[in-house]
Amino acid sequence: MRFTQLSRYLSCPLSASCSPFFLTSKSKCQQNGLGTKEILRLLSYQDVGNSVSTVPHDMIHNSSMSCNIKNRHQYIKSFPVLDGNIPSLYRHVLDGNTSNSEICIQRYLELLEKVNKGGGENAICRHTQRNKKLLVRERLRMLLDDEFFFELSPFAGLNMPYGDVPAAGCLTGLGRICGIWCVFIANDATVKGGTIYPVSVKKQLRAQEIAMQNRLPSVYLVDSGGAFLPLQSELFPDQFHGGRLFYNEAVMSAMRIPQVAVVCGSCTAGGAYVPTMAEETAIVDKIGTMFLAGPPLVKAATGEDILPEELGGASLHSKVSGCVDHFASSEKEAYECVRNIFATLNFEIPAEDTLEYDSPLYCADELLGLAPKDYSYTLDIKLILSRMIDGSRFQEFKANYGTTLVNGFAYIEGQLVGIVANNGELTHDASLKGCHFIQLCNQRNIPILFILNTAPQAAEPSSFAQALDHTNRLKAQASMMATVACAAVPKITLVIGGCYGNESYAMCGRSFDPNFLFLWPNARIALVDSRHFPKHSMIWDDNCTGAGTEFKHLKKKLEEESSAFYSSARVWDDGVILPQNSRKIIAQCLRVMKQKKYQILSLQQYPLPVIRM
């Protein structure tokens, strides 16, 4: 299938559901208009003040000032327009990238199909017909304001050493209830009874981390048999194993992040702690049960026959134990109850987003030909930017200095963002320029988008001068790493090609805590690029014996472990996204990150969690 056909087939599944959701009324915005002078003043350093805030771009997008479409547009329109025309000279590069993208997207679709089948036909049948429960996606549909659910890490758990665990047995993602963005953690009981595998813990911890970083209320739909017992040693004892989920629930509550749970299935052991630790919990009659040990264990220990409902059903927990707060006679009633709980959170509901914006001047489908299959197939990063930013307008910073890093300001669906994008090796000058720019964003409270495509490995120095150059580069990269680590603005990282070695740290790789990190399907994540191993090394043995064979084996292993899907299966990122959807997804994330400012209750200095009595 050629990429044009493929991209039509895929054409932005997200946009279909989310665009109308965010379209705005122009007249409403103009009522609150500010003058150009005021906007310019708001963009300046003095107005942001000295406080180091983790609140994203509040100063620019608060409710009274986000609405001046007319003046804002005049301002945006003065940013220079990027030339996004691809020189015909690079036809072969485009063709190479396109055919690679097609292969990667084919793989993406196969995996998506696998994930959508959950635990398979028999398990679905058991879940819906015997156990009379709704499927996890139907539950979310009932609970959310609209159809929009931005699923995170859907490929988590695929092709793990212990087999396939579709979606790691639980869906995580972002959606809205009563207009409030929330994080959802919803077990899929069709996958081995919703039991928790090591990768499920990782995925749920990551969802909680996103909730903490972005201050998003969390909703747990609990339907889990607890730990997947054959892997208990990888689940229970360590700091970031299962118990961390419950620890986080307490800490999040102390941070004033509301957490609401619905017991909508059998919740055993670890599965029972999640709702019990939540701030407010509803249970579905005849469907929800909670116990530390279920009827079979009771029978084994005491010889007593007892029904699940009697041991830990809805009536028992709502009337006797107090482990839940709301009794619901059906799943529908439980989700209505959650919506009512949300109405009590005392959040100022964000006004409908009222920004108007221009589309990029160049077609996003062409990003498939720009997604580099290899570092040597990388074209000028501005060709990619021109397909992602509003009106392809870019206010570049230090355009002629350290040109292997491109920095500048742009708008994405009307939201101001600072862009730090690789355009070659992260040299000494490029790193210093990166430091300077990141500090500007930090001072002005502007979120940063890192577009990552690092060099496979630094060339070995062939002279003293080159060695000195490398040392200076190391020092400058260390400065950039420190700046990235300490910048208190929200960060999104998009890996569009290689994510190799130390340069990826300076570009806000996973260990540098971006609020969100996404990969294009062609992305490669590894310490070094296996394809750039020395071809004429002594250890290459044409007869495939001894060290040569070992080396080939290592190379093959590295090759497999570098793929975007391998990374996403292990939750080293927040998901593989299609290049043509990147703009939409980044815009959504910018909106989500902005929500913290709507929380009315201020943080206490020594807060306490809500403790169930």
From residue 306, give the alpha-carbon distance in Å to each of 150, 295, 302, 369, 461. 41, 6, 11, 62, 73
The minimum distance between CB 169 and ligand COA, in angstroms, equals 10
The alpha helices in 77-197, defined as continuous H runs, are 91-116, 121-125, 136-143
The alpha helices in 43-193, defined as continuous H runs, are 45-48, 58-61, 69-76, 91-116, 121-125, 136-143
Distance CA 345, CA 225 (A): 30
The minimum distance between CB 136 and ligand COA, in angstroms, equals 13
Residues 444 and 488 sit within 8 Å (Cβ to Cβ): no
Phi/psi of residue 317, each to 5°? -75, -25
The minimum distance between CB 203 and ligand COA, in angstroms, equals 17
Q: In what order do the strands lie in the sheet with 180-187?
A: 150-152, 170-177, 180-187, 218-222, 259-263, 280-284, 326-328
Binding site for ligand COA (CB under 6 A): 126, 131, 192-193, 195, 225-229, 266, 268-269, 294
Task: Map tokens 């920004």 to a residue.
Answer: 355
Q: Which is nearer to ligand COA, 86 or 222 (CB)?
A: 222
CA atoms within 13 A on the CB side of 610: 16
Residues 590 and 448 sit within 8 Å (Cβ to Cβ): no
3-state class (DSSP) for residue 596: helix
Residues 524 and 564 sit within 8 Å (Cβ to Cβ): yes
CA 143 to chain centre: 21
The minimum distance between CB 149 and ligand COA, in angstroms, equals 24
The minimum distance between CB 347 and ligand COA, in angstroms, equals 35
Q: Which is nearer to ligand COA, 155 or 197 (CB)?
A: 197
Q: Which residue is nearest to ligand COA (CB)?
A: 225
Q: Which is nearer to ligand COA, 263 or 586 (CB)?
A: 263
The minimum distance between CB 153 and ligand COA, in angstroms, equals 22
Give the number of residues written for the chain: 613
Q: Which is nearer to ligand COA, 173 or 270 (CB)?
A: 270
The minimum distance between CB 292 and ligand COA, in angstroms, equals 8
DSSP of 436-486: HHHHHHHHHT--EEEEE---SSPPPP-SHHHHHHHHHHHHHHHHHHHHHHH
The minimum distance between CB 205 and ligand COA, in angstroms, equals 18
Q: Which is nearer to ligand COA, 222 or 489 (CB)?
A: 222
The minimum distance between CB 183 and ligand COA, in angstroms, equals 24
Q: Which is nearer to ligand COA, 162 or 401 (CB)?
A: 162
The minimum distance between CB 372 and ligand COA, in angstroms, equals 42
Give the residue among 165, 113, 65, 138 at the shortest CA–CA distance from 330. 138
The minimum distance between CB 243 and ligand COA, in angstroms, equals 12
The minimum distance between CB 278 and ligand COA, in angstroms, equals 19
Locate 194 and state its tokens.
């919703």
Q: Which is nearer to ligand COA, 158 or 222 (CB)?
A: 222
Q: Which is nearer to ligand COA, 196 or 441 (CB)?
A: 196
Q: Which is nearer to ligand COA, 154 or 225 (CB)?
A: 225
Q: Is 230 exposed, middle or buried (0-12, 13-18, 19+ CB in 10 A)?
A: exposed
The minimum distance between CB 226 and ligand COA, in angstroms, equals 3
The minimum distance between CB 142 and ligand COA, in angstroms, equals 21
Q: Which is nearer to ligand COA, 56 or 294 (CB)?
A: 294
Q: Which is nearer to ligand COA, 268 or 392 (CB)?
A: 268
End-to-end CA distance of the chain: give it in Å, rounded: 60
Q: Which is nearer to ligand COA, 296 or 303 (CB)?
A: 296
Neighbours of 534 (CB within 10 A): 10
Q: Which is nearer to ligand COA, 29 or 263 (CB)?
A: 263
Phi/psi of residue 457, each to 5°? -170, 150
Q: Which is nearer to ligand COA, 126 or 256 (CB)?
A: 126
Give the residue among 107, 167, 113 at the shortest CA–CA distance from 140. 167
Q: Which residues pair with 174 in a beta bridge?
A: 150, 183
From residue 604, give the alpha-carbon distance in Å to each of 213, 217, 221, 483. 17, 17, 29, 28
Distance CA 562, CA 581 (A): 23
Give the residue among 239, 281, 243 at the shortest CA–CA distance from 263. 281
DSSP of 511-570: GG--SEEEE-TT-EEESS-GGGS-TT-TT--TT--HHHHHHHHHHHHHHHHTBHHHHHHT
Q: Which is nearer to ligand COA, 226 or 408 (CB)?
A: 226
The minimum distance between CB 168 and ligand COA, in angstroms, equals 15
From residue 204, give the alpha-carbon distance in Å to each of 134, 210, 243, 480, 565. 21, 10, 12, 31, 19
